[in-house]
Structure 1
Amino acid sequence: MSKYINIVKLSVGTETVEDLEGWQQMRAAATDGLHRHVTRMWPKRGEEILNGGSIYWVIKGIIQARQPILRLDEVTGPDGIRRCAIVMKPGLILTQHALKRPFQGWRYLTHADAPADLPAGKSHEEPLPAELSAALAEIGVR
């Protein structure tokens, strides 16, 4: 049994993995170079997340990439509300595509339910069009 849990999150406003990577690099350049996602909710299973978990990114209804989570930082917004900054390792790891219905916020994702990473040689291949990838994922072909 796995001793860690992952998080799955919609990447709202991005069309491709490259869009997400560019947005993250732009935001990281304004801070210490690490990638962060700030959320209102603090994960109750923080210890499990920090024991090897990743954030899996959903782009256009498909899990397409992940990033290992380094730590959870407490931040306070200009409104005085405590939030959680999920600090991630820079760089995206491409995964096999898996369909994911829309949801708000983030959700836990078990190791068993997480899509596998793409083999090293496949990460440099031209990606399938999103519609074709979604159709293949829908019928169970990843």
Structure 2
Amino acid sequence: MPLNLIKLCVGCDSVEDLEEWIAFRLDERRRAGEPAEQFHTTRMVPTRSAEILDGGSLYWVIKAQVQCRQRILDIRPFTDGEGIGRCHMILDPTVIRTEWQPRRAFQGWRYLTPADAPADLGRAGAALLEMPPQLRQELAELGLL
């Protein structure tokens, strides 16, 4: 059974912001002649990488709500220019919307079991996606999403 990770999506106010950032970074990498892969850099390397790479995802917390996920394709530890160990999590650039699930702020990432992960939104959530992001956020703050 795959294991997931959960992390705060710092700097994004909506899933749309995240999608725009991903597209921008992929375009930047293409123009620079680098491989067009999306990754997230983190300081800690997951010790349970094999379980994560068995189909796990990175769930993003945006504005105190888990709102989406991206499949984790690879985990690549490296040492940066200052000699500090870090890790690139290679992500599928496709963002999959999930049911909203409240989360308090935390630092770094955490493991997230499939039982605790929110379900994908799917077709039933199409009407929710048509709402403006600000309206979705206000409804979530009121506990209506």
How would you bin the TM-score normalised by the shorter chain? 0.7 to 0.9
**CA distance, structure 2, for counterparts of residue 4 and residue 50 of structure 1:** 7
How far apart, CA to CA, are the structure 1 residues paired with 2:103 and 2:141? 10
Name the counterpart of 2:13: 15
Among 65, 75, 79, the residue aligned to 2:82:
79
Q: How far, CA to CA, are the matches of 2:67 and 2:20 in structure 1? A: 15
Q: 1:125 corresponds to which residue?
A: 130
Deviation sequence 1:1-41 (CA, Å, 0-9, x none): xx211000100011010111111222223242221110000
Task: Provide the TM-score with structure 2 as the length reference.
Answer: 0.86
Give 1:45's aligned amino acid: R
Distance 1:134 1:114 in 2: 20
Aligned identity (percent) is: 46
* Residues 87-136 of structure 1, C-alpha deviations (whole Å, 9 max, x = no match): 01111000000000000000011100000000235345225421212332
Q: Which structure has more helix as a fraction of its residues?
A: 2
Contact 1:55–1:69 (Cα < 8 Å) also in 2? yes
Question: Which structure 2 segments of 5+ residues have no match?
Answer: none
Match of 2:4 among 3, 6, 14: 6
Distance 2:14 2:95 in 1: 12
CA contact (8 A) 1:8 1:108 kept: yes
- SS of 1:114's partner is coil
Secondary structure at 1:87's aligned position in 2? strand
Structure-1 separation of matches of 2:94 and 2:101 = 20
Number of aligned residues: 136
